[in-house]
Amino acid sequence: MSTSILVSEVGPRDGLQSIERIMGTPEKKAWIHALFKAGLREIEVGSFVPSHVLPQMADTAELVGFARTLPGLAVAALVPNLKGAQAAVKAGAHKISIPFSCSETHSLKNVRRTHEQMIQEVQAIGAFLKTLPEAERPHLEGSLSTAFGCTMEGVVPEDKVMDLAQILIEAGCDEVGLSDTTGYANPAQVRRMIRKVHARVGADRLTGIHLHNTRGLGLANALAAIDEGLTTIDASQGGLGGCPFAPGASGNIVTEDLVFMLEAMGFSTGIDYDALMHARQLLSDALPGEPLYGMVPLAGLPKNFKAS
């Protein structure tokens, strides 16, 4: 088990995509900078989707450019297709993720593509990236969305998830990520799925997981993933986020709670908690009245608490 865990902050993308009120670009930049100053070393700053679909993401290219000026920060972005990937490369993203819903019903709602069409998109992105000099290629992750269940289809067969993981790697992804889009996962399921994906495509091809806390199991699932060898855990400050096309699946893991748990257990995250709370205040100020979640921000750190 690794003693160092990368907390990948997805608030500026997944956290904001479900919020109707548009957060201003200067406020987003201030928030991203504060997260960076707190010690976050990977931040998903937005998604390259049409602005009429998600107006909140209209400034993603500008945010990528800004985040690129922060030394040592891995700048990530979501892309739904080849056009989005080309825009992400032009903007300078270090990492791009494409959401591939294991539930075809969810795929049709989320990106309006069948599985076959999405495979073709991934293959096109993979071929496009191969035309770039190696130093200019962003890391490509195929995010296996609804891997633990779908609000529309219900149970998603695990063998189907394994097959899709292999297909994504063969199509050109550098790695795959498991995503509990709907907040259905439990720790036993997380352990089992990780072992199966590692057996199918290799442990080096699955290092991260994206979890929601919809049913209160987010941190338990994160710990199960770490026990199985994963070293990157997605989280969103204030627990913001949720998929617009997965009804009721609100609430990413709260960054503040995840960092506390990891540091209290002796893992190193490199994150300064006081600085993280300053970033939370900037977020709160930029979105007055928007509910922010988290148990540790509510209760405070234990007396004499020291990070690892």
The residue range of the domain holding 18 is 6-299
Q: What's the 3-state SS for 105-174?
A: HHHHHHCCCCHHHHHHHHHHHHHHHHCCCHHHCCEEEEEEECCCCECCCECCCHHHHHHHHHHHHHHCCC
Beta bridge partners of 250: 242
Asked if the structure places residue 304 within a domain, the reply is: no
Burial of 48 (0-12, 13-18, 19+ CB in 10 A): buried
Domains held by the chain: number: 1
Rounded to whole angstroms, the Cα distance separating 76 from 184 reads: 25
Asked if the structure places residue 307 within a domain, the reply is: no
The secondary structure of 246-283 as a DSSP string is STT-B-BPBHHHHHHHHHHTT-B----HHHHHHHHHHH
Strand pairing category for 208-210 and 6-9: unpaired
pLDDT in tens, 30-81: 999 999 999 999 999 999 999 998 999 999 999 999 999 999 999 999 999 9
Asked if the structure places residue 235 within a domain, the reply is: yes
At residue 81, what are phi and psi to the nearest 5 degrees?
-165, 180
Residue 243 annotated in active site: yes
Strand pairing category for 175-179 and 208-210: parallel
Asked if the structure places residue 308 within a domain, the reply is: no
Rounded to whole angstroms, the Cα distance separating 226 from 251 reads: 20
Asked if the structure places residue 20 within a domain, the reply is: yes
Catalytic, out of 102, 150, 173, 243: 243
Asked if the structure places residue 1 within a domain, the reply is: no
Asked if the structure places residue 128 within a domain, the reply is: yes
Q: Quickly tell me which residue has 């995840």 as its tokens.
A: 258
pLDDT given at position 110: 72
DSSP state of 284: H
Asked if the structure places residue 106 within a domain, the reply is: yes
pLDDT given at position 250: 61
CATH number at residue 243: 3.20.20.70
pLDDT given at position 249: 46
pLDDT < 50 stretches in the chain:
248-249
pLDDT given at position 33: 98
DSSP state of 73: P
pLDDT in tens, 213-244: 999 999 999 999 999 999 999 999 999 986 55
Residue 300, classed as helix, strand or coil, is coil
Containing 289, the helix (H) or strand (E) segment is: none
pLDDT given at position 111: 76
